[in-house]
A and B are shown apart, each in its own frame.
Chain A
Amino acid sequence: MTTLTAPVRVPVSIGRRYLAAGTFIVLGLIDIFVFGIFAKRGDAVFALSLPGASPHLPAIHVPGALTSYVLGAISIGVGILRAVVDLPRWGKRLSIAVVLLCFLLSLLAWADAGNTVGPLQVIDLLQGTLTASIPLVLGALAGLLGERAGVINIAIEGQLLTGAFVAAAVASVTGGVWLGLIGGSLAGGLVGLILAIFAIMFLVDQIIVGVVLNVIALGLTNYLYDRVMSPYAATFNSGNTFNTIKIPVLSDIPIIGPIFFDANIFLYITYALILVIQIGLFRTRWGLRVRAVGEHPVAADTVGIRVLWTRYRNVILGGLVAGIGGAYLTVGSVGFFTSDISSGFGYIALAAMIFGRWTPLGSVAAALLFGFSFQLQTELSVLRVPVSSFILLMAPYVATIIAVAGLVGRVRPPAADGKPYVKA
C-alpha cells in the first residue's frame, strides 16, 4: 500500500546535467534573440534611489540591446561549462543563480531600453518584491513545519484566508491592529488544529482534510462577509493597518536601507521566523526530533520521541505562522477584507515549498521568485511595455515550470510525509 522504502526511481531520459545545461543555453538564446533583438534603440536606465531620497545615487545607464547580447553570451557560456565540467555542488548553485540573474537583467534591459516614460525604479521593484512575498514565505514555512513532521498541509490557503478575515474583523472591532495580528494568527492556528485532529486522531487522508478545509474556509468567510461583515462594515471592516517602521541607521544605508529596513512589522516578523525556523529545524534538539518524526516515526517512537504530540504541535505552529501571513493580507497591507482575498496564494506557497525542497531557505528563495514576478509585472505596466499584461502575468508560472522541470526535477519529500502513524 504505502512505500516506506526507497521512492520510485525515475529514469531521466536525458541526463540531469545536460537538462540543466540545455535550459541555461535556451535562456541565453532568449536573452539574445528575444530581449536583444526586440529591444528599442537607446539606453536602459535603472534608478537606484527613490525620487527625493537624501543620499541620491546616480542612475545607471546601459545600452539596451548590447546588454542583452552580453548577458545571453554569459548564460550560454555557463551552460556549456555545465555540460562539459562536472561542477561541485556550490558551483551548480552558483551557475543557476548567474543564469537567472542574467535572464532577469536582460529582461529589464529590454523593458526599459529607449524608454520615454522614465527610468526603471529598482528600489520600488525590490521593495515590492519583499512585501509581495510575505504571505508566500509565511505560507511556505507553515507548510514545511507540518510536512517536516509528516503531516501534509494543503490547507495553507484556508489558513491564510481565515487569518485575513479574523485579523480584519478583530482589528476593526477592537481598534487594535496588534490584536488583529494575534487574532489572525490564532485563527490560522485553529485551522491547523482542526487539520491535526482529523489527520492525526481520525486518520483521515491528509490531502482530503486540507482540500476540504480550504473549501470550508472559502465558503465560511464568503458567507460571513456577505451576511455580517459587508452590511456592518463600519464595525467589522473599517480597514485598520500597521504603520511603517523605519529602523534607525540601517534604513539610511543607500539601496539596502529602503528595501529591507523600511516596512511594517510583518516584514520584520517574517525575517525573524525564517531565521528561527531555519536554525530551529537544523540546529536544535526540537528540529532533530521533528525531522526524525517526519522521516521515520517508528524509529523516533522507539527512542522515546512522542510522535503524535510532535505532529500536533508542528501543524498548529504552522497554522499560527500561516495565520500571520493571512493577517498581513488585511491589517498589513490594504486593511479591508474582501471576498477570497488570498486568491490562491496558499497554493503558490505550497508550490514554493515543494520547489524549495522542503527547506526553509529554499522555500523562501522560491517565494521571493514569485513575489519578484508579481512586482515586476506591476513595474513593467508602469513602463508601458508593449506586451499584454496577461502575458506578463503568465511569465512567472511558465518560469516555474521551466525551473521545476529543467533545474530542480524530482524532489524528495520527508519519507513519512502524509502517512498517519499508528502505534503498533
Chain B
Amino acid sequence: MTDQHEAEPSAEPAGATAATATADGTGPPAPAQPRGRLTGRAIIHAVTEGHSTVITILAVFVALVIGAILIVASDPVVLRAWASFGYAPAAALSATWGSVAAAYSALFEGAIFSPATISAAFHGGSIAAVFYPLSLTAFEATPLILTGLSVAVCFRAGMFNIGAAGQWIGGALVATWLGYAVNLPIVLHAVVCIIGAFIGGAVLGWIVGVVKARTGAHEVILTIMLNYIMYNLLSFLLSSHNLMQAPGQTNALAPGLASSAMLPHVGGPPPQTGVGFLIALAAAAATAWLLSRSTLGFQFRTVGASPSAARSAGISVERVWILAFLIAGGLAGLSAATIVQGQTAPLTTNSYGTYGFDGITVALLGRARPWGVVLAGLLFGALDAGGTVMEAATGVPSDVVNVIEGLIVLLVAAPPLIRLLFRLRRTGGTGPQAVASKGWSG
C-alpha cells in the first residue's frame, strides 16, 4: 500500500500526476499539464474529479460539520429550543446557528486572526496583537511537526513508531538537565541543550532499532513498552530530591532552566513563536533532503518498499532500521527541546502531553512527506490553539477539536468516501495513497 511514486525509488517524479506532486512537497512539481491550462478548466476538472487538495478541503469541511453537530447536540440551550420546535421553529434554528457560530468563530479567532484586533490596530492598538493568534498556531504546531517528522521517517522506512512519546521524554530529560545543571555562555548553552535533546531522544530510538535488528523483536511492542518505562522514569527522576526534583519542592517537577538555555522569542513575548518553530522548519527541510536526496534516504525508502528486495540489492536492512529509529528518536527529542526551552514552565510528570500520539496523526495526514507533515502540523496547531480559545469563550470543551482532527485524518485517508458523499467522478487509478504502512511484517 505504498505510494508508487515516492516509495519506489526508481519511479521518475515526472511520471507523477499533478495530484501526487502537489500532495508531495519533496519533489519538483510535475509538468503533467501544460501551464496555460492550469487555470479555468483544470480547476473545474480538479474539483469534479476529486483532486487530493480538494479531497483534503472537503474532508476538513465534513469534519467541521460533524463537529458542529456534536457541539449543537450537547448544548442545553439548543436542546431546549428544539424541544419547543413546534411553537417556535425559528428560535430553534437560530439557537442552533448561534451555538455553532459562537464556537467556530472563537475557534477561528483563536487560531488565525480576530477582526477586533485589526480595528484596534488602526486606532492605536498593538500591531503585534493582530498576529498573536497566528503565533499561537505556530507555537502549538512546533512540537507536533517534530514528532510528526519522527513518525514519518519510520513510516518511510516501513516501520511504525508509537514511541515518540518516550523519545520525547528522553530528549526532555537531557535538555532539562543540561539547562539547569551546566553553566555555559548564552547562545552556546541553548545549542548544547538542543543537541542534548536530540541525543536523548536518539538513544531511545537507537535502543529500539538495535533490539529489533539483533533479535527481531517487534518495534510496536518495544516502543509501547519504552513509552511506559519513560513515563515512570520521568516520574521517578522528578520526584527524587537527590536526582532531578527542584530543590525545596514537594511536587514532582524539575528545576527551571537557566535563562541562557532558553530559546529566544521572535519579536518579544506576546507573539509566542519562538526559535522552536524555525527549528521545526529546519528539521523538515533536513528530513526532506535526507529522504529524497541522500543515499541513506534512498535506502530507507527501499527498505520501506520491500525489505527483501533491499536485502538482495545489498542494502543492510538492519543498519537502516537502526538509523531510521535513531533519527526518528532524535526528531522526537527536538520536539521536547522546543517545549522545555521554549516555555518558562518547568518539566513536570505530564509535560509530554499527547505530542507522541498526535505525531502519528500528523504524520498520517501529511502522508509521511516532510512538507506534508509541516502543513498537517500547522492545521492541527491551528485547531489546538483555536480550541483553547473556544473553550474559554463558549465553554465548549476543546476535546471536540481532537474529534475533528481524527475525522480529518480518517476522511483524507478515504477518498472514495468523500467522492461518494459529494458525487465526484472517479479518476483513473486509486489516487495518491496515504501512507506506507504494511502491517506487522515490514
Query: Do these two chains really belong together in a complex?
Result: yes
Question: Are B364 and A411 in touch, CB under 8 angstroms?
Answer: no
> What mask results when residues 140 to 157 of chain A are scored 1 for a CB within 8 Å of chain B, else 0?
000000000000100000
In the bound complex, what is the Cα–Cα distance between A220 and B221 (angstroms)? 27
- Best-buried of B2, B70, B417, B439 by chain A (most CB within 10 Å): B439
Cβ distance B122 to chain A, nearest Cβ, rounded Å: 38
Known: A206-B439, A208-B435. A219 touches B399 (CB 8 A): yes
Q: Is A164 located at the chain interface by the 8 A CB criterion? A: no
CA distance A312 to B357 in the complex (A): 27
From A226, A354, A397, A418, B218 is in contact (CB under 8 Å) with A354
Give Cα distance in the complex from A348 to B417, angstroms: 32
Task: Please judge, given known A-B contacts A219-B406, A418-B439, whether A350 and B220 are in contact too, CB under 8 Å.
Answer: yes
Say if the beta carbon of B214 comes within 8 Å of chain A.
Answer: yes
Contact B225 A216 (CB under 8 A): no
Across the interface, which residues of B come within 8 angstroms of A406, CB to CB?
215
B-side contacts of A415, CB under 8 Å: 441
Stretch at the interface among A3-11, A59-67, A109-117, A258-266: A3-11
Report the Cα distance A8→B318, complex, angstroms: 11
Binary per-residue interface labels of chain B (406-442) against chain A in the complex, 1 for a CB within 8 Å, 0 otherwise: 1101100110110000000000001001110111110
**Residues on the A chain within 8 Å of B225, using CB:** 351, 397-398, 400-401, 404
Are A208 and B217 touching (Cβ within 8 A)?
no
Q: Are B410 and A212 in contact (CB under 8 A)?
A: yes
Closest to A410 in B: B216
Q: Is B236's CB within 8 Å of the partner chain A?
A: yes
Q: Are A405 and B215 in contact, with the CB atoms below 8 A?
A: yes
Question: Does chain B have a CB within 8 A of A33?
Answer: no
- Smallest Cβ-Cβ distance to A11: which chain B residue: B318
CB closest residue in chain B, given A221: B399
In whole angstroms, how far apart are the Cα atoms of A390 and B231 in the complex?
A: 9
Whether a CB of chain B sits under 8 angstroms from the CB of A122 is no
Chain A residues whose C-beta falls within 8 Å of the C-beta of B438 in the assembled complex: 1-3, 418-419
Question: In the complex, how many angstroms separate the beta carbon of B157 from the nearest chain A beta carbon?
Answer: 13
Annotate A222-246 by CB proximity to B: 1 below 8 A, 0 otherwise: 1110111000000000000000000
A219 B232 Cβ-Cβ under 8 A: no
Chain A CB within 8 A of B360 CB: yes
Q: Is A218 an interface residue (CB 8 A)?
A: yes
Q: Are A409 and B217 in contact (CB under 8 A)?
A: yes
Q: Of B133-141, B142-150, B267-275, B303-311, which stretch is located at the interface? A: B303-311
A254–B409 Cα distance when bound, in Å, is 54
Contacts of A5 in B (CB 8 A): 308
A347: interface (CB < 8 Å): yes
Contacts of A355 in B (CB 8 A): 221
Chain A contact residue count (CB 8 A cutoff): 67
Q: A388–B417 Cα gap in the complex (Å)? A: 51
Using A354-B221, A390-B239, A401-B217 as known contacts, say yes or no to A212 and B409 having CB atoms under 8 A apart. Answer: yes
Q: Which of A50-58, A91-99, A197-205, A272-280 contacts B (4 or more CB under 8 A)?
A: A197-205
The complex places the Cα of A10 from the Cα of B417 at a distance, in Å, of 39
B292 within 8 A of A: no
Q: Which residues in chain B, 357-415, are within 8 Å of chain A measured between CB atoms? A: 357, 360-361, 364, 396-397, 399-403, 405-407, 409-410, 413-414
CA A12 – CA B357 in complex, angstroms? 31
Query: When A2-B1, A219-B402 are in contact, do A19 and B439 touch as well, CB less than 8 Å?
Result: no
CB-CB under 8 A for A208 and B413, given A8-B307, A226-B399, A394-B228: yes
Query: Chain A's nearest CB lies how many Å from the CB of B349?
Result: 9
Q: Does A408 contact B (CB under 8 A)?
A: yes
A71-100 interface mask toward B, CB cutoff 8 Å, 1 = contact, 0 = none? 000000000000000000000000000000
A204 and B414 contact, Cβ closer than 8 Å, known pairs A212-B364, A397-B229, A410-B217: yes
Instruction: Contact check, B413 vs A413: say whether CB atoms are below 8 A apart.
Output: no
B214: which A residues are within 8 A, CB to CB?
12-14, 405
Chain B, Cβ-Cβ closest to A211: B360
The bracket for how many chain B residues form the interface is 35 or more
Interface string of B145-172 (1 = CB under 8 A from A): 0000000000000001010000000000
Q: Is the CB of A354 within 8 A of B440?
A: yes
Q: Are A227 and B396 in contact (CB under 8 A)?
A: yes
Is B224 in contact with chain A by the CB < 8 A criterion? yes
Of the candidates B232, B240, B409, the one having the most CB atoms from chain A within 10 angstroms of its own CB is B232
Q: Roughly how many angstroms separate A220 CA and B66 CA in the complex, as a whole number?
A: 12
B129 within 8 A of partner (CB): no
- Chain A positions within 8 Å of B407 at CB level: 216
Taking a contact as CB atoms under 8 Å apart, the answer to whether B441 and A7 are in contact is: yes
A404 and B217 contact, CB distance less than 8 A: yes
**A350 lies within 8 A of B224 (CB):** yes
How far does the alpha carbon of A226 sit from the alpha carbon of B433 in the complex, in Å?
A: 36
> Considering the chains assembled together, what is the distance between the CA atoms of A152 and B216 in angstroms?
20
Q: How far is the CB of A346 from chain B (nearest CB, A)?
A: 10
Whether B364 lies near A227 (C-beta < 8 A) is no
> Is A295 on the interface with B (CB-CB < 8 A)?
no
Contact of A3 among B308, B397, B401, B410 (CB under 8 A): B308
**Is A398 a contact of B416 with CB atoms below 8 Å?**
no
Q: Is A344 an interface residue (CB 8 A)?
A: yes
Write the residues of chain A forming the contact surface with B, with a CB cutoff of 8 angstroms.
1-3, 5-8, 10, 12-14, 19, 152, 198, 202-209, 211-216, 218-220, 222-224, 226-228, 344, 347-348, 350-351, 354-355, 388, 390-391, 393-394, 397-398, 400-401, 404-406, 408-413, 415, 417-420
Besides the known contacts A223-B399, A404-B215, A418-B440, 8 further A-B residue pairs in the complex with CB atoms under 8 A apart:
A1-B2, A1-B305, A19-B215, A198-B414, A205-B433, A227-B396, A354-B221, A355-B221
Could you list some 26 contacts between A and B, CB below 8 A? A1-B438, A3-B308, A8-B307, A8-B317, A10-B216, A198-B414, A205-B413, A205-B434, A207-B439, A208-B410, A211-B361, A220-B403, A347-B224, A351-B220, A351-B221, A354-B218, A390-B239, A394-B228, A394-B233, A397-B232, A401-B221, A404-B222, A405-B215, A409-B217, A418-B439, A419-B438
For the complex of A and B, 7 pairs with smallest distance between CB atoms? A418-B439, A410-B216, A219-B402, A216-B406, A390-B236, A215-B406, A219-B403
